[in-house]
Amino acid sequence: MPVVLFLAGFFAAINILAAEPSSDDLNLPIYAISVVEQGIAYSAEAESQATIGQILEKNGFKTSNSDIISHSSEEAVVPGDTIYIYHATPVTIVDGGVGSETFTLANTVASLINEKGIILNEIDILTPSENTNIKTGLVVKIRRRVIEKITEVLEVPFKKISSEDPETSYGKVTITKPGILGKKEVEFEVLKEDGKTIKKNTYRKNR
């Protein structure tokens, strides 16, 4: 029995020595770094050998794939580091009647339009205005307008030629030359918005 107890104690000691020490056992140094989130500076605790991603998570900073972070999440922290976080804002763009949700780092509607590479024509209507500040849930609408010229063939009412016939009853009119429907071409200027006609004006009448 004493031999068995000795061997059990021997192997237990080996296991303890072979076990990897925890970060608490290593007494890793902890220092402060700066995190600037949306322009506001915060102080955060950073543990030596920790990554940027671990530090942000430990200090309660939440990020998404659409955000911009000045450092890679896998990068090791360096004493005195300043980490910058720019959060993307969810907005909806309705362009020509078709809506899509997106994220943006722009501050104004004008910057958003430029960021997404959207080209506006002179007569397109943008709401809200370009200087409107971006906020969560903002809906930006672009009403696409075009002016088209079209030609239509219209019927022209015929003119009746008639006369009183003395050989018939008094007051009875006899049509001496029946008319036929005429036709003429008319050019129209049509204003369309998102593919729908909203205004139609006569542009030119052709004989």
pLDDT at 11: 45
Report d(CA 36, CA 106) in Å as an integer: 18
DSSP lists the bridge partners of residue 173 as: 164
Q: What is the pTM of this model?
A: 0.62
Percent of the chain with pLDDT over 90: 52
Domains of the chain: 27-87 (3.10.20.30), 89-143 (3.10.20), 146-206 (2.20.230.10)
Say if CB 44 and CB 79 are below 8 A apart. no
More confidently predicted of 95 and 8: 95
Tokens 């429907």, located at residue = 181
Q: What is the mean pLDDT of residues 169-188?
A: 68
Separation of alpha carbons 4 and 193, rounded Å: 92
11 three-state secondary structure: helix
pLDDT in tens, 59-68: 999 998 889 9
| Cα R_g (the chain), whole angstroms | 40
* Average of per-residue pLDDT across 44-52: 87
Q: What are phi and psi of 186, to 5 degrees?
A: -130, 130
Predicted confidence band of residue 4 (pLDDT cuts 50, 70, 90): very low
Position 13 pLDDT exceeds 50: no
Cα(55)–Cα(79) distance, integer angstroms: 12
Q: What is the pLDDT of residue 3?
A: 43
Q: Indicate the Cα dihedral angle 99, 198, 119, 135, nearest 10°.
A: -40
Residues 33 and 158: their CA atoms lie apart, in Å, by 91
Structure tokens at 66: 């659409």
pLDDT exceeds 70 at position 132: yes
- DSSP category for residue 51: B
Distances from the Cα of 176 to the Cαs of 10, 76, 159, 170, in angstroms? 134, 104, 12, 17
What is the percent of the chain where pLDDT is above 70? 73
- The DSSP call for residue 72 is -
- Distance CA(45)–CA(54), nearest Å, equals 11
CB 46 within 8 Å of CB 61: no
Helices (H), 59-137: 109-115
Q: How far apart (Å, rounded) are the C-alpha atoms in residues 8 and 197?
A: 92
Residue 15 has pLDDT above 50, yes or no: yes
Say whether pLDDT at 85 is over 50.
Answer: yes
